[in-house]
Amino acid sequence: QWSAFFEAWWDTFRGAGVIADDLCKRLIEDDVHDGAARAVPDVLLVHLDVHGARAGALRKALGRHLSRLKGRIFNGHKLLDAGSDPHRKVRVWRLADDANPAQPRVTPQNSSPNPAQQGLW
Would you call 9 helix, strand, or coil by DSSP?
A: helix
Whole-number Å distance between alpha carbons of 116 and 80 = 34
Report the pLDDT value the prediction gives residue 1, as an integer from 0 to 100: 81
Whole-number Å distance between alpha carbons of 41 and 37 = 8
Identify whether 51 is part of a domain: yes
Report the pLDDT value the prediction gives residue 27, as an integer from 0 to 100: 82
Whole-number Å distance between alpha carbons of 113 and 88 = 36
pTM of structure: 0.72
The mean pLDDT value for 16-25 works out to 92
Identify whether 38 is part of a domain: yes
Q: Which range of residues forms the domain containing residue 36?
A: 2-97
Identify whether 102 is part of a domain: no
Does the pLDDT at position 29 exceed 80? no
How many domains would you assign to the chain? 1
Identify whether 114 is part of a domain: no
Report the pLDDT value the prediction gives residue 118, as an integer from 0 to 100: 52
Does the pLDDT at position 115 exceed 90? no
